[in-house]
Amino acid sequence: MKDNSISIKTNKKEELIDITSKIKKLIKKENLKNGLINIFVKHTTAGITINENADPDVKDDILKALGIFDRKNYKHAEGNSPAHVKSSLLGSSVTVPVKKGKMQLGTWQGIMFAEFDGPRNREVVTEIISYPK
């Protein structure tokens, strides 16, 4: 197993950032031919998801849909409870199979880092599990 981390600097309070190319570079750098790559977000106010990356409107629609959790009467004193809820709904990790050096994503799929309490410097940890052919 091989682990690596990726730094992400977010620029907005909420945004989805396509990190697919960063993951592809990592797979190439680590010479992963066949196996799995797990991508894990180390934060409770950010998440990760796989969704369409061809049409930027999809990112906006996802954030808009998650906006229903932006109510004001949460108990958490820091005022960022909506970010915690959204992070929990999206999840903190995704695992993608890799065959012949390529992630087995669908035609329109990309790996999206979801910021819900930015802007911040964030860290995503990856773990690679390599299989023989």
Over the stretch 68-124, which tens digit does the pLDDT of each residue have? 988 777 788 788 898 999 999 999 999 999 999 999 999 999 999 999 999 999 999
Question: The domain containing residue 24 runs over which residues?
Answer: 2-130
CATH at 76:
2.60.120.460
Give the span between the Cα atoms of 33 and 27, in whole angstroms: 8
The DSSP code for 105 is -
User: What is the phi/psi pair of residue 51, to 5°?
Assistant: -160, -175
Please state, for a pLDDT cut of 70, what percent of the chain lies above it.
98
What is the average per-residue pLDDT within 39-49? 98
Sign of the four-CA dihedral 97, 22, 42, 131: positive
Question: Which has the closest alpha carbon to 23: 125, 132, 130?
Answer: 125
> What pLDDT is stored for residue 3 in this prediction?
64
Q: How many domains does the chain have?
A: 1
